[in-house]
């Protein structure tokens, strides 16, 4: 089934995932053969959509040999791409799992520094890719040199094209975004730590999270707000009400890499298929849980998502 989804990745990465018997300093660590995937928030969202039977176009900035490798990896996975020239060399990131302690170390590079010309080139590519009814997903970190106002600037571009914007960002960009009205931000997602930092207080109960999200909606920050609560699932707040969804049974966590992107991919795909927002929330939660059960940089897999979805609990707050 075709869906009109475009994901944006300004700071893509080639992800290497490996493991070692034990991780400790000052010695050569003999690792397993690495699993190599294209990475970065928007890329992973598009990959998740693909895994779930949909289609999303990944709009990415590329540079150098790593950028060429990204395009090759995405082509092998059957993910449509629109690439534009970014500065320097696309970044590399890697994760190492300590087999003895069953813990994961994640090393994330900053990426090349952008100029205003690079930003404008990216906006031009977005303008050409987004149209009436397009769902534009901005996910992942911003590269150095991109102003914290970028999500707000992007929302203005999206609004002028009749598209809907879904934002999953962090750091200064998120803090800037919640300080102003954004009529074109259809969905804003964040995790519980980010929500508590923005709220300036602990959000211990689900009702606390819902109240915080409702305040953002009332201030016009976004039309709908989602806050992930880790193992406790996620809370969705709209102008009509608030809901909580979580897996019906505990999930065995193998790797949390890609869980958030799997949520966004599933939520966006369900939204494009005109499911209700609470049903979109359930699908997203099931996909995030499924991603936690996979190794390294692998994302959600449809059979696991379907199994979790059957027992997923949804309740109105």
b/e code 272-296 from CB counts within 10 Å (16+ = b): beeeebbbbbbbbbbbbbbbbbbeb
Predicted confidence (pLDDT) per residue in 46-97, tens digit: 999 999 999 999 999 999 999 999 999 999 999 999 999 999 899 998 889 8
**Averaged pLDDT of the chain:** 91
Predicted confidence (pLDDT) per residue in 270-298, tens digit: 999 999 999 999 999 999 999 988 765 67
User: Residue 112, CB half-sphere, CA atoms under 13 Å: how many?
Assistant: 20
Q: In the sheet where 185-191 sits, what is the strand order?
A: 81-85, 57-62, 5-9, 135-139, 164-168, 185-191, 224-228, 234-237, 242-246, 313-316
| pLDDT of 16 higher than 60 | yes
Determine contact, residues 34/70, Cβ cutoff 8 Å.
no
Q: What is the DSSP letter of 88?
A: S
pTM of the model: 0.89
Q: Catalytic residue positions?
A: 261
Residue by residue, DSSP assigns 239-275 as SS-EEEEE-SS----S--TTHHHHHHHHHHHHHHTT-
Determine contact, residues 5/82, Cβ cutoff 8 Å.
no
Band of residue 186 on the pLDDT scale cut at 50, 70, 90: very high
Q: Who's near 102: CB < 8 A, 6+ residues apart? A: none
How far apart CA 186 and CA 269 sit, in angstroms, is: 14
Q: Which of 300, 194, 286 is nearest to 257 (CA)?
A: 300
- Look up the CATH number of domain 5-22+33-316: 3.40.1190.20
Q: Which of 231, 314, 296 is nearest to 95 (CA)?
A: 296
Q: Are strands 13-20 and 35-39 parallel, antiparallel or unpaired?
A: antiparallel
Predicted local confidence at residue 1, as pLDDT:
38
The domain segmentation of the chain, as residue ranges, is: 5-22+33-316
Q: Which residues share a beta bridge with 20?
A: 98
Long-range contacts of the stretch 23-27 (C-beta < 8 A, 24+): 23/96, 23/98, 23/101, 23/105
Mean predicted confidence (pLDDT) in 92-104: 89
b/e code 229-240 from CB counts within 10 Å (16+ = b): beeebbbbbbee
Determine contact, residues 194/170, Cβ cutoff 8 Å.
yes
């Amino acid at each position: 089934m075709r869906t009109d989804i475009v994901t944006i990745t300004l700071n893509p990465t080639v992800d290497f995932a490996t493991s070692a018997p034990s991780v400790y300093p000052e010695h050569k660590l003999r690792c397993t053969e690495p699993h190599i995937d294209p990475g970065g928030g928007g890329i992973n969202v598009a990959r998740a959509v693909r895994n779930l039977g949909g289609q999303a176009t990944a709009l990415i900035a590329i540079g150098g040999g790593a950028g060429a490798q990204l395009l090759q990896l995405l082509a092998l996975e059957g993910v449509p791409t629109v690439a534009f020239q970014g500065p320097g060399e696309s970044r590399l990131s890697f994760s190492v799992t300590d087999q003895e302690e069953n813990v994961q170390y994640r090393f994330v590079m900053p990426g090349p520094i952008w100029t205003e010309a690079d930003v404008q080139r990216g906006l031009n590519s977005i303008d050409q890719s987004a149209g009436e009814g397009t769902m534009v997903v901005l996910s992942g970190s911003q590269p150095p040199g991109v102003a914290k106002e970028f999500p707000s600037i992007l929302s203005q571009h999206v609004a002028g094209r009749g598209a809907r914007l879904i934002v999953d960002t962090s750091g200064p960009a998120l803090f800037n975004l919640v300080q102003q009205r954004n009529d074109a931000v259809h969905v804003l997602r964040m995790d519980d730590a980010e929500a508590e930092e923005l709220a300036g207080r602990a959000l211990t109960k689900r009702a606390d999270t819902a109240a915080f999200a409702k305040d953002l909606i009332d201030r016009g920050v976004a039309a709908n707000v989602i806050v992930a609560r880790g193992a406790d699932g996620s809370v969705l707040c709209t102008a009509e009400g608030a809901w909580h969804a979580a897996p019906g049974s505990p999930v065995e966590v193998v790797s949390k890499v890609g869980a958030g992107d799997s949520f966004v991919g599933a939520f966006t795909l369900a939204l494009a298929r005109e499911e209700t927002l609470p049903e979109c929330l359930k699908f997203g939660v099931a996909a995030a849980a499924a991603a936690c059960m996979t190794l390294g940089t692998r994302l959600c897999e449809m059979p696991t998502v379907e199994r979790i979805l059957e027992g997923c609990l949804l309740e109105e707050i």
